[in-house]
Every structure is written in C-alpha cells, then in structure tokens.
Amino acid sequence: MTPPNAWWSPWRESESLLILHVDLRPSPDREEQALALLDEQEQERWKQFASNDARRRYTLCRGALRANLCDRLGCPNQELSFGYLEHGKPFAKVNGAPSGESFNLSHSGQHGLIGFSSQDGLGVDLEVRAPGRDFDGIGSSVYGPTEQGALSAASGDDKADVFYRFWSLKEALIKALGTGFSLNPSRFEVPGPMIEGERSGVFRFPHLPSEPFWLEDLGEPRFAAASACRLTVGDAGPSGGLR
C-alpha cells in the first residue's frame, strides 16, 4: 500500500510488471524524507550535483526506489544496497546478497518512472518533450532508415512527438539489454507496426535474435515513455496488457 505522504504512485501494472510515477516537483518536506533514506555513498553523490534541480530529482527518485524495494523485498532500509553490472546497470542486494528483483528508473523534468519486475531484463524511459530542436539532424545519427523516414514525414508538433516516442522506445530497449550506449541506437529499429503507430509488440535485437523483448509505448500528453522487458519461452507479453 502506498503511504499517504508518498511522492510516488502506481502508474501502470500487469501480472509481471509494476511501474510507478514519481512526482519530482519541489517539496522540502518530501526531499528531507527522501534524503534520510539514502545511504552514505548516495548522500555523497547527492552533494556532487551542481544544481538544486539535479539534487532534487536524484533524491526523490532514489528515495522512492529504496522505499519500494524494501517493501517488495521485505527488508529494512539499512540492509539494502546496490551492485553494478559491467556496463553500469544497478541491481539490488540484501545484506550483500543479490536479490531476484529487477528494477529500472528514468526521470525528465518533474516526472520520474520506476519499473519493477521479478524477471531479469527490464528497461523504462521517460522523456519530457522539448520543442524547437533539430529533430531531423539528431535523428539522422540515432535512428535507422525507416525511423528517419517517419520522422522526416512528420511536421509541426507531430515531429517532436515522433522523435521522443522513438527515442523513449529505443532507450527502454537499450536499458533492458543492459549494455548502455556501447550499442549504437542507429543499429536497430523498433518494430515496423510500432513505427506506424501500434502501442506494443515483440522486438529482437539483430545480433540477439533468440532473445525477444516485449516493448510498450507508454506515452501520454505530459511526456513520452516506454518499457521493455525480456520475454521467457512461451511468454506472449504481459498478461492482459498494461492497464
């Protein structure tokens, strides 16, 4: 159950996946609560951020992550710590032992998302749309030919929508894979039906055709967003879809 003073709330849920929305608006009381949850290493990192906005986003996201991981893992906050894989993707540990809980987080502007799953291979991304950028120019270096064509065909506000939609989908996939940007995003494209507007589908990286991922467009008027999770054999995606 979400505490009454929480700055996060359930946003999307299926049998295998929970995504929380994190409210990152300024709130001294919430920031103080969140900061108290961070361990010594996290508080040292908090001090290194150059701006108050960056410190606030980090504190509120990390505090929400800790509170919810402790609830899901049934452990006190002081027993929770984090390890990091080869390319920097974090994983949760309880008393030094890796847990079976997969998580991923993303934030942009005054919004954050945190995804949780009992299955390995989860990625979420959120992007607040910023108009007025050279979307075609940026897209030429990060999108494949079909994606570039769809972006070039869009105009006005639709161009920003298309750009950020594709970017959130591709970044969620990269985060689910866990290799960071050692994989150039222009080397793969989101599924064709999703380029044309479908909201979900099965995706396979060209170099890993035997590892399917379930990809969801979670965009809404406030921001573009997406989730990606590795599928097990016989799994056709989240049961019933996200609601």
Residue-range definition of the domain harbouring residue 157:
125-230
Q: What is the pLDDT of residues 56-110, one digit of tens each?
A: 999 999 999 999 999 999 999 999 999 988 778 899 999 999 998 999 999 999 9
Find the CATH number of the domain harbouring 51: 3.90.470.20
pLDDT greater than 60 at residue 212: yes
Single residue among 100, 117, 140 that ends a domain in this structure: 100
Do the domain assignments include residue 237?
no
Backbone angles phi, psi at 26, to 5 degrees: -55, 135
Q: Of all residues in the chain, what percent carry a pLDDT higher than 90?
A: 83
**Distance of alpha carbon 171 from alpha carbon 157, whole angstroms:** 21
Same domain, 130 and 211: yes
Do the domain assignments include residue 76?
yes
- Please give the tally of structural domains in the chain: 2
pTM: 0.92
Same domain, 92 and 131: no
The per-residue pLDDT for 235 is: 59
Same domain, 138 and 211: yes
Q: Give the residue with greater pLDDT, 61 vs 237.
A: 61
> Helical H runs in 12-106?
28-37, 40-48, 52-73
pLDDT greater than 90 at residue 22: yes
Do the domain assignments include residue 91?
yes
Among 91, 128, 96, CA closest to 111: 128
Same domain, 95 and 133: no
Do the domain assignments include residue 18?
no
Do the domain assignments include residue 113?
no
Same domain, 185 and 138: yes
Do the domain assignments include residue 112?
no
Q: What is the pLDDT of residues 6-16, one digit of tens each?
A: 999 999 998 88
Single residue among 100, 116, 149 that ends a domain in this structure: 100
Burial class (CB in 10 A: 0-12, 13-18, 19+), 131: exposed
Residue 58's alpha-carbon distances to 166, 185, 234, in angstroms, are: 25, 26, 38
State the pLDDT confidence band at 242, using cuts at 50, 70 and 90: very low
Q: Do residues 22 and 11 lie in contact, with contact meaning Cβ atoms separated by under 8 Å?
A: no
> Helical H runs in the chain?
28-37, 40-48, 52-73, 135-142, 145-153, 157-177, 192-195
Hey, what are 170's tokens? 């591709």
Do the domain assignments include residue 20?
no
The per-residue pLDDT for 193 is: 98
The per-residue pLDDT for 8 is: 98
Single residue among 54, 84, 100 that ends a domain in this structure: 100
The per-residue pLDDT for 122 is: 96
Among 11, 12, 3, CA closest to 34: 3
Q: What angle do CA 204, 91, 101 make, to 5 degrees?
A: 80
Q: What is the pLDDT of residues 158-208, one digit of tens each?
A: 999 999 999 999 999 999 998 877 788 999 999 999 999 999 999 999 999
pLDDT greater than 80 at residue 233: no
pLDDT greater than 80 at residue 237: no
State the pLDDT confidence band at 240, using cuts at 50, 70 and 90: very low
What average pLDDT does this structure show over 206-232?
Answer: 95
Dihedral sign from CA coordinates of 13, 87, 172, 209: negative
Do the domain assignments include residue 109?
no
What average pLDDT does this structure show over 21-39?
Answer: 97
State the pLDDT confidence band at 234, using cuts at 50, 70 and 90: low
Report the chain's mean pLDDT, rounded to a whole number.
92
Hey, what are 211's tokens? 């590892």
Burial class (CB in 10 A: 0-12, 13-18, 19+), 235: middle
